[in-house]
Amino acid sequence: MKKIFLLAILGLITFISCKKDNFERFTPSSGGFDAKQVTASFAGIIVGANEEPLEGVLVASGSNTTTTDENGAFFFKNISVPNNKAYFTATKAGYFHGSRTIFAQANHTHQVRIKMLDNNPIGSIMNNVGGDVILPQGGKLTFEAGDVAYPNGNPYTGQVNVAAKRIDPTTDNGRFEMPGDLRGKDKEDKDVTLASYGMMAVELTDNSGNLLQVAQGQTVDMTFEVPASLVSTAPTEIPLWYFDEANGEWKEEGSATLSGNTYEGRVSHFSFWNCDANFRRVYFEATFVNESGQPLVYAFISIELPDGTRRHGITNEAGWVGGEVMANATMKIYFAINSSCTSLAQEIMDFTTTNLDINLGDIMVTVISPVTHTISGTLVDCADMPVSNGYIQIESDNWYFGYNTPINADGTFSYDYTSCTAVDSAYLTGYDYDNLVQSALLGYDLTISTDLGNVKACGVVLDEFITFNYTTNSGNDTIQTMLPPNIGMQDSIGNGWSAWGSDSTGTGDMFFWLQANTLSTGNYAGSGTLEGISGWQSFNCDYTVTSYPASFGEYIEGSFVSTNATPIVTGSFRVKKQ
């Protein structure tokens, strides 16, 4: 099945490490980092264990919520977050809760990636007997008779179904599966940064799917498998930490003892559990640019610590990356053009930290491009005439790129894509803004340079769109159509719904927001906001909603007209209810 992925799959994450560095308890340095609330935007993708995009995931950050679309994508525009702790949660039936915490820059767009683990039971015990449940990936849970009850304390005597997943912190998968960002509070309530030696997610249910927990006053034995690369440096005893979903951080509770290549400890409740030491750290940030001073967006950055372990992050649309690294150490920075080319990362520079936060400023990189594919052609309409107002979406079996490739006035387009290895096929969809139609999904064989000839945008009504006409005081018109993946929708904002879109070129130069005070068809009042033509402007609107479905996944349709004297804004929309 064709898999679709956003190239920019992860934004600013706190870099994640896996080895014993300096494990004394500490008070974080004050340094130069100014922790504060900022307004920023976030686009992300949520996938399952096999990298399949997950649709219909409820994503929340503070009081802001949305759901993922069929590509697993979501978007928050201009929300307020702590710049050192932008916390996102992901909830979907059939999966453990997912989450991610990232650093954020004011007035910038950041990428977030979460991998969710299914919570299908891997084994069961009878609560009046107890027993062991072995994790296929490594690890074990040992229950004694009567260890389990309902969360409200009521006793339970039946079958206990156990869902459990091991998370390996040394792998790319583990980095995206683990919740938060390996920061937390120790037993003295001090802020700490963690180095994981093994992690596990556990959930208990009865035969009706009702949640169970460890009974009050009882404990369950947990055995964590230590990754092979970490066994030689694993401390004899290590603190245990559980993930506090309400606060988005790890909390110290108990300890585990090393026995061969496993840690063994006892826990009094289930959540995500983690065997971690903490190390002295400082805040780090830098901006990566090319020889022309242009930001290197969504590049993969790796920092190698003195013991050879690495911490990772992805630049944002300004080329910036931020997180936490080891204090009082000399480290190396590696750069890859994107997160799929990490095996070809190039060493950029060394840098040395003290006990203060560090900002390296602009770092110029001469990018080594492994393979560049050039894809070109001409977009035409149903009458084989060039489309002057549209775009091209390009996809492949294992990546998703060029979704906002613009076309020229004569319908021609050309897109250069850099990848680690040659790609032999791709899928393409052409969009005609003026006629609000698109092509079917078209398959093509690729070479290093491929001319697709005429691509006909015809025969398929656009799935989703927001289109508007803006008339200035002087009578000049601006006509704009916004399409997926640059539009989004949220149902039930108070007593209504809202929809938004950014310009189809993907540059972020224009943003449009609709808010209607209705949850049904009919004529209603509402408002709109437009940024990018004449500053930031708000206006009142009359909405005519011709379709408002009862079910999510179907489409809200209608039109709108501004009621202000100026500007005059008219338009129509078709957005998927989420």
Q: What is the pLDDT of residue 333?
A: 95
What does the alpha-carbon distance between residue 524 and residue 539 come to, in Å, rounded to a whole number? 14
Give the fold, CATH level 3, of 371-461.
Immunoglobulin-like (2.60.40)
Reduced 3-state DSSP string for 61-100: ECCEEEECCCCCEEEEEEEEEECCCEEEEEECCCECCEEE
CA angle 566/570/576 to nearest 5° reads 135
What are the backbone dihedrals phi and psi of residue 392, each rounded to the nearest 5 degrees, phi first?
A: -120, 135
Report the pLDDT averaged over residues 205-231: 95
Please check whether residue 134 is in contact with residue 224, taking contact to mean a CB–CB distance below 8 angstroms. no
Structural class in CATH, domain 123-278: mainly beta
Domains 123-278 and 371-461 belong to one CATH topology: no
Report the pLDDT averaged over residues 560-576: 79
Reported as a single tens digit per residue, the pLDDT across 493-519 is: 456 777 777 654 433 445 666 777 777
Nearest to 99 by CA among 40, 44, 156, 36: 44
- What kind of architecture, by CATH, is found in domain 37-117+280-364? Sandwich (2.60)
Q: Which residues pair with 144 in a beta bridge?
A: 130
Whole-number Cα distances in Å, 156 to 152, 163, 243, 266, 270: 11, 18, 25, 21, 16
Domain positions in the chain are 37-117+280-364, 123-278, 371-461, 465-576
Q: What is the pLDDT of residue 128?
A: 94
- pLDDT at 29 exceeding the cut of 80: no
Reported as a single tens digit per residue, the pLDDT across 34-55 is: 678 999 888 788 999 888 889 8
Whole-number Cα distances in Å, 59 to 54, 56, 140, 379, 517: 11, 9, 31, 36, 23
Q: What is the pLDDT of residue 15?
A: 42
DSSP state of 177: H
Q: What is the pLDDT of residue 154?
A: 96
The neighbour count for residue 117, using CB atoms within 10 Å, is 20
